[in-house]
Amino acid sequence: MACILPTGAKQIHEAEMTMDKKTNENLYTAFVGEAKAHHRLLAFARKAEEEGYDQVAKLFRAVANAEGIHAERHLRLLGEAVVRSTERNLEYSFEQETTVNQVYYPEFIREAEAEGESAAVVTFKHARDVEERHAELYKRALGAMLREETHDYHVCQVCGYVAEREAPDECPICSAKREHFRPVC
Ligand code: FE2
Ligand code: FE2
Ligand code: FE2
- Which ligand is nearest to the Cα of residue 173, counting in written order? 3
Both 99 and 154 in one domain: the answer is: no
Both 105 and 133 in one domain: the answer is: yes
Q: How confident is the model at residue 10 (pLDDT cuts 50, 70, 90)?
A: very low
**4 belongs to a structural domain:** no
Residues 6+ away with beta carbon under 8 Å from 165 = 151, 152, 154
Core vs surface per residue 137-146: b (16+ CB within 10 A) or e: bbeebeeeee
CATH number for the domain harbouring residue 70: 1.20.1260.10
Q: Tell me the residue range of the domain where 39 lies.
A: 16-77
Number of separate domains in the chain: 3
**55 belongs to a structural domain:** yes
Give 129 Cα–ligand 3 centroid separation in angstroms. Answer: 10
Which residues are in the CB-under-5-Å shell of ion ligand 1?
3, 97, 131, 134
Residue 6 has pLDDT above 70, yes or no: no
**171 belongs to a structural domain:** yes
Which residues are in the CB-under-5-Å shell of ion ligand 2?
34, 67, 70
- Which ligand is nearest to the Cα of residue 69, counting in written order? 2
pLDDT average, residue stretch 55-71: 96
Residue-wise pLDDT tens digits, 135-171: 999 999 999 899 999 999 999 999 999 999 999 999 9
Q: What is the pLDDT of residue 2?
A: 42
**6 belongs to a structural domain:** no
